[in-house]
């Protein structure tokens, strides 16, 4: 495999000579080639950026140096060009395994406010293009992301790992679980013991213990991995991020205006929340959303209250209500409840007949014996 890096900071890639990637290069399993993008800029200051059309803060990387660099590198149909960008598809182990099958990858490491869109469009006319994000946050440039993707990809190449079995047992491998806890000598350290089963010599019990620990850890930390959800058309149900707060506020107000009309009351907390309020509850509620054509159209949230999984804010855009999105979200939020949840609880308006009908079909029952917010009813369901 050959990996090329186009960057204005070539020194960022010195770590490629270290540790296992460096050894893999020495063995001929992979080639690393780092290229300074400024070498394809011909003014006396070697500028690679300019002000954005339409105005706005920051600078945008110019197309001409990128085009010349692609020409010089011979980027063609046998090349995969990776643009590292926070607006790309999320990077995960599945994508790492896919990229590990490529013969050549060129990393285009952007800076400033990003790369002129025409560069990406042009690259797509001559090669395979993948826009990839490490996660829902912003870095100063694409170099760190390119290094992280490189390490995840090249370690999957045949012959890279001394013990190939370690690739199967680690987090996000074939079983999709997080890795179990690991221990080494000494057997006792500062009041902490290695679990007895790992010192028993019984390989069957060890394997069972490790699987149980992997399932437990995944359920506690990443329940979405145990219960990946999507709609019938393949649309995924994904975790919300702080960047979704604005759209959630818009969706929330649209939905609770309907609730206010149905219940003849404006005394509904969700109707009066601000953007800052939504940002605040995103920090304490596990929240999932559905997007259609880039638009946030539905959401739900949940959190533990004692031994119950508290479900709330099931929201579906008014123009899509009746299409099954609310039902899908209700099923999803129950599946991802923590293992310690013994029951589910939610509330809705006393006059919200449509909501109550959906909840009853899902097995929830009204509990007049439980305190409810003004104008609302509480429904619960035992966890089976």
- Tokens at 56, concatenated: 């706005």
Among positive and negative, which fits the CA dihedral 233, 238, 244, 248?
positive
Residue 6 marked as a ligand binder: no
Taking the CB of residue 93, how many other CB atoms lie within 10 A of it?
Answer: 16
Residue 138 marked as a ligand binder: yes
Q: What are phi and psi of 366, to 5 degrees?
A: -65, 135
Taking the CB of residue 357, how many other CB atoms lie within 10 A of it?
Answer: 10
Residue 86 and residue 132 in contact, taking contact as beta carbons nearer than 8 Å: no
Residue 137 marked as a ligand binder: yes
Residue 141 marked as a ligand binder: no
Instruction: Return the residue matching tokens 């359920």.
Output: 219
Residue 295: how many CA atoms within 13 Å on its side-chain side?
A: 9
Closest CA to 274 of 299, 252, 259, 257: 252
- Tokens at 147, concatenated: 């290094």
How many Å is the Cα radius of gyration of the chain? 26
- Tokens at 29, concatenated: 């399993």
Residue 194 and residue 187 in contact, taking contact as beta carbons nearer than 8 Å: yes
Residue 136 marked as a ligand binder: yes
Residue 275 marked as a ligand binder: no
Residue 135 marked as a ligand binder: yes
Binding residues for S-adenosyl-L-methionine: 110, 134-139
Q: Which residues are annotated as a binding site?
A: 110, 134-139
């Amino acid at each position: 495999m050959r990996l090329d890096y186009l960057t204005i900071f070539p020194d960022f890639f010195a770590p490629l000579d270290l540790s296992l990637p460096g050894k893999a290069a020495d063995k001929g399993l992979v080639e690393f080639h780092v290229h300074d993008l400024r070498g394809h800029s011909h003014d006396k200051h070697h500028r690679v950026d300019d002000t954005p059309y339409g105005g706005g803060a920051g600078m945008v990387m110019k197309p001409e140096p990128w085009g010349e660099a692609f020409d010089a590198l011979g980027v063609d149909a046998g090349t995969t060009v990776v643009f590292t960008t926070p607006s790309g598809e999320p990077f995960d182990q599945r994508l790492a395994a896919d990229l590990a099958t490529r013969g050549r990858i060129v990393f285009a490491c952007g800076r400033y406010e990003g790369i002129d869109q025409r560069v990406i469009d042009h690259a797509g006319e001559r090669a395979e293009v993948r826009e990839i994000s490490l996660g829902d946050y912003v870095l100063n440039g694409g170099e760190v992301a390119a290094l992280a993707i490189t390490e995840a990809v090249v370690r999957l190449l045949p012959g890279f790992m001394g013990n190939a079995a370690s690739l199967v047992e680690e987090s996000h491998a074939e079983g999709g679980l997080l890795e179990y806890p690991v221990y080494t000598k000494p057997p006792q350290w500062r009041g902490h013991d290695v679990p007895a089963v790992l010192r028993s010599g019984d390989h069957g019990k060890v394997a069972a213990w490790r699987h149980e620990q992997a399932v437990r850890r995944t359920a506690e930390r990443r329940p979405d991995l145990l219960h990946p959800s999507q709609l019938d058309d393949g649309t995924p149900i994904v975790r919300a991020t702080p960047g979704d707060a604005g759209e959630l506020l818009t969706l929330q107000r649209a939905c609770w205006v309907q609730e206010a009309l149905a219940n003849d009351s404006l005394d509904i907390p969700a109707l009066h929340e601000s953007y800052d309020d939504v940002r605040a509850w995103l920090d304490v509620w596990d929240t999932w959303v559905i997007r259609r054509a880039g638009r946030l159209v539905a959401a739900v949230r949940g959190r533990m209250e004692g031994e119950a999984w508290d479900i709330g804010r099931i929201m579906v855009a008014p123009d899509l209500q009746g299409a099954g999105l609310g039902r899908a979200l209700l099923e999803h939020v129950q599946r991802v409840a923590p293992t310690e949840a013994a029951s589910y609880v939610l509330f809705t308006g006393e006059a919200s007949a449509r909501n109550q009908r959906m909840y009853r079909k899902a097995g929830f029952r009204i509990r007049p014996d439980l305190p409810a917010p003004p104008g609302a009813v509480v429904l619960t369901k035992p966890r089976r």
